[in-house]
Amino acid sequence: MWIAKKGDERKKEFLETAVEIFKTKGYGKTSINDILKQMNITKGAFYYYFESKEALLHEIVNQLTEKMQTVVKDIANRNDLSAVSKLEHIFNATHQLREENQSAYYPLYALQKRDENAFIARKFMQKSLSINKQFIELIITQGIQEGSFKTSNATETAELYIRLTSLCKEKIADIISDSSYLSGHKTLYKKAEDLITFYQEALERILGAEKGTLNFLNKTKEYISGMIS
């Protein structure tokens, strides 16, 4: 859900309304007046919270990435976990965060899928990289020291890891949101299962890890299997 401090319910309404309109019209074709008309509110109220439509979009992205940063940072700084366990904890925790905040994450995901909103997906990824890359790099460096990972460039590997895990989640979301998947379509389940296997192997290769090291991705297979059982 969107974060709303006391007295900021109107700001929360702006964010929710904007996302819904961006989904249907596209960010570029949406004007501030479209948002105002939908909310039946004056332009002065909008500019009280946001300097521009771009500032509103920046706030949408920040709302969703700041929570994620806290999760990743806390796990990366733990001293009781191996590097592989940290990646597993982050994968599971971020999945849970998305599930608990579906009202915020799912509309943004749908928003990014429109071709005219592609730059929003780039903005979201840039923000994710700027706040999380340093922590994933720390984990990869730890994995190298532990002998679990073998890569010559932890910095670039961290960025590639973030990009690939994000792409994997997007593709899985596309499959399981298909109505025929939810009705028990076995072909789509097999497609999702194969996709997870592919990304697990790809991530292990870029980390220089042995096959089967990132077996926490198998839990995703169990999850999507349970949706049609």
pLDDT exceeds cutoff 90 at 168: no
The predicted structure's pLDDT at residue 198:
92
Q: Which residues contact 124 (CB under 8 A, 6 or more apart)?
A: 61, 64, 65, 108, 112
- The alpha carbon of 98 is separated from its chain's Cα centroid by a whole number of angstroms, namely 8
Domains of the chain: 9-226 (1.10.357.10)
Q: Are 192 and 157 in contact (CB under 8 A)?
A: no
Average the pLDDT over 73-97 and give the result: 91
Of 37-41, 71-75, 108-112, 190-194, which range is least confident? 108-112
* More confident position, 226 or 34: 34
End-to-end CA distance of the chain: 29
What residue type is assigned to position 112 of the chain? Q
Average confidence score pLDDT of the chain: 82
Listed range (46-55, 69-78, 213-222) with the worst mean pLDDT: 213-222
The pLDDT, as a whole number, for residue 73 is 94
In this predicted model, what pLDDT tens digit does every residue of 121-157 receive, in sequence order? 787 788 889 989 999 999 999 999 999 999 999 999 9
Question: Which residues in 96-107 are b (16+ Cβ under 10 Å) and which e?
Answer: eebeebeebbeb
> Are 213 and 148 within 8 A, CB to CB?
yes
Structure tokens at 20: 């819904």
Q: What's the pTM value of the predicted model, to 2 decimals?
A: 0.74
Is the pLDDT assigned to residue 104 strictly greater than 70? no
Is residue 75 within 8 Å of 54, Cβ to Cβ?
Answer: no
pLDDT at residue 2 above 60?
no
The Cβ-side half-sphere exposure at 52, using a 13 Å CA radius, reads 4
Query: Distance (Å, rounded) from C-alpha 57 to C-alpha 123?
Result: 9
The secondary structure of residue 31, as a DSSP letter, is -
